A = this chain, B = another copy of it.
Amino acid sequence: MGKTAAIIGGGVIGGGWAARFALMGWQVRIFDPDPDAERKVGEVMNNARRSLPGLSNAAMPQEGALIFCETISEAVRGADWIQESVPERLELKAKTYRTVQEHCDPGAVIGSSTSGFKPSQLQQGAARPEQIVVAHPFNPVYLLPLVELVAAPGNDPRVSDRAATILTEIGMYPLRVRKEIDAHIADRFLEAVWREALWLVNDGVASTEEIDDAIRYGFGLRWAQMGLFETYRIAGGEAGMKHFIEQFGPCLSWPWTKLMDVPELTEELVDTIAGQSDAQSGAHTIRELERIRDNNLVAMMRALKSQNWGAGALLNATDQALLTAGGAVLDYSEIADIGAPIVTLDRAVPLDWVDYNDHMNEARYLQAFSEATDRFMEIVGCDADYIATGGSYFTAETHIRHLDEIHPGKRIRVTTICLGGQGKKMHVFNQLWEGNTLCATGEQILIHVSLQTRRPCDPSPLIARRLGTIEAAHHGLPRPDGVGRFVGAPR
């Protein structure tokens, strides 16, 4: 794009802005008198470089240059966007704008990261008040899309429009706030919850961890995808938003928080809310919204499972209890018949494995085989403890026959046959079943490696011995259809 952003104040927020602009291809000039600023911004940049580019399904532009400037004038000259993230003191911000406006392009956007001040407050005494808007982001700025874009009556609307266009270009969501108020929108909620949380800790009702758990195992997951009103619309059921407010409105005057001032639920206010909710979510029935919500929750909670964090860590712990009760083999000692294929996966197809053809996506077949092979590795002794000592198996080659479709919710099993287990090589043949229907086969060769050198090496004697035993026992099995097949070979 060849555009330039000036970042005034390079803390966590300023650094986050710098990272987002730079990774979206902008040249970025930073002014911060802190002698440590370059190191601090560098750390934010490192976090951003490892997380943002892959978030996208497309290649990002060439990263823009990051230039640290000695003066504000040097930073802002010719810049298209100037982002002020200095501490929350009005007189400091006013002083900053004076210097900025002496040197910047009158057509540039000056955005303030303030979480509390109104734009009209920021504009007081400025040379060109119409140029200054609030552009309030959320940490981490390089990942979270929300920016509250707030203008005052004194603003040139073209500045806000230009700001919204640029924010969209750099992958953010400009929420144009209709009226300037202290703390804009989101921080009013954050403040209300923060106060309530302080009371709960103060009164010994809950610890910080218990409060976090009360959020992240429950309504936090709802809010991450639908927010407040759409969630409550579903709770109202087919009777809708009006019914929900009529049912739950009265609770508001119960003494349930320390925070007591409540708007009167006039018929007019109820109608306003119900009408806005219809405009927002009316394209979907409640039943559809429920399924959308559940799809989102399953996808997000499974994402957290893969990170073994929060609700995902909890689900993984529950899985452990289910696994011991299920049909899959978990440990070498549990193999009942060493001469039979080993059940290495036994699960239902989750909603997030389904694609536009409304069946399990082809890549999830390999995920199922991969998880089955992981289990087989664990059974022969290549478990998390072993991997921590520096040995593991890497897959070298895979052949999959997709024999039948599988639909979400269906229970699937994988059975594993060991075709070879000598030396560094492990050769397995996986079969994916739904009931008695063979839906796919997956033949794989894995190589044992050192995680230090990333080169092939022999596995531990225990693994070698167990693999050898299973290989010998599985030699007695009939050779399954599909072994050694190449793509397109005649049936």
Interchain CB contact under 8 A, B217 and A173: yes
A70 within 8 A of B: no
User: A148: CB under 8 A from chain B?
Assistant: yes
Stretch at the interface among A119-127, A305-313, A471-479: A305-313
- 9 example contacts (A-B, Cβ-Cβ < 8 A) are as follows A59-B346, A59-B348, A60-B322, A143-B294, A143-B297, A146-B213, A171-B315, A201-B276, A394-B405
Residues of B within 8 A of A362 (CB): 366, 370, 395, 398
Q: Would A398 and B402 count as touching, CB distance under 8 A?
A: yes
In the assembled complex, the CB of A164 is this many whole angstroms from the nearest CB of chain B, namely: 14
Most buried by B among A12, A217, A405: A217
- Chain B residue numbers with a CB within 8 Å of A408 are 50, 54
A304-345 toward B: CB 8 Å interface, digit per residue (1/0)? 111101110011101101110111100000000000000000
Chain B min CB distance to A258 (Å): 5
Docked complex: A85-144 residues within 8 A CB-CB of B: 88, 116, 138-140, 143-144
Q: What residues of B have a CB within 8 angstroms of the CB of A363 in the complex? A: 363-364, 366-367, 369-370
Q: Which residue of chain B is the closest to A216 with respect to CB atoms?
A: B227
Most buried by B among A192, A272, A321: A192
B208/A351 in contact, CB under 8 A? no
Partner of A145 from the list B54, B217, B300, B352 (CB cut-off 8 Å) is B217
Q: Which of B61, B191, B292, B319 contacts A325 (CB under 8 A)?
A: B61
In this assembly, does A190 line the interface, its C-beta being within 8 Å of a C-beta of chain B?
yes
Secondary structure at the A interface, as helix, strand, loop or mixed, is: helix
State the oligomeric state as a number of copies: 2
Contact status B319-A296, CB under 8 Å:
no
Q: Hey, which chain B residues are within 8 Å of A221, CB to CB? A: 144, 224
Question: Which residues of A245-281 have CB atoms within 8 Å of chain B's CB atoms?
Answer: 251-252, 254-263, 265, 269, 272-273, 276-277, 279-280
Complex CA gap A451/B355 in Å reads 13
| Contact between chains at B225 and A205 (CB < 8 Å) | no
Contacting residues, chain B, for A243 (C-beta < 8 A): none
Asked if A161 is at the interface of the complex by the 8 Å CB criterion, the answer is no
Q: How far is A173 from B485 in the complex, measured between Cα atoms in Å?
A: 48
Any B CB within 8 A of the CB of A65: no
Report chain B residues within 8 Å CB of A223. 215-216, 220, 223-224
Give A360 to B221 CA distance when docked, in angstroms.
27
Q: In whole Å, how far is A410's beta carbon from the nearest beta carbon of chain B?
A: 9
A489: which B residues are within 8 A, CB to CB? 486
Nearest chain B CB to A374's CB is how many angstroms away?
Answer: 8
B-binding segment of A26-34, A73-81, A151-159, A181-189: A181-189
**3 tightest A-B CB contacts, nearest first:** A212-B227, A54-B350, A259-B259
Neighbouring B residues of A364 by C-beta, 8 Å: 363
Q: Contact at A219–B190, with CB atoms within 8 Å? A: yes
Please tell me which one of the listed residues B57, B194, B280, B307 contacts residue A252 in the complex, with CB atoms under 8 A apart: B194
Across the interface, A397 reaches (CB within 8 A) one of B185, B186, B370, B401, namely: B401
Residue among A53, A175, A190, A298 with max Cβ neighbours from chain B (10 Å): A190
Q: Which of A272, A291, A309 has the most CB of B within 10 A?
A: A309
A307 with B322: in contact, given A216-B225, A216-B227, A259-B259 (CB under 8 Å)? Answer: no
The 0/1 profile, CB within 8 Å of B marked 1, for residues 170-208 of chain A is 010101011101110111111111111111111111111
Shortest distance from the beta carbon of A407 to any chain B beta carbon, whole Å: 10
Q: Decide: A451 and B357 in contact? CB cutoff 8 A.
A: yes
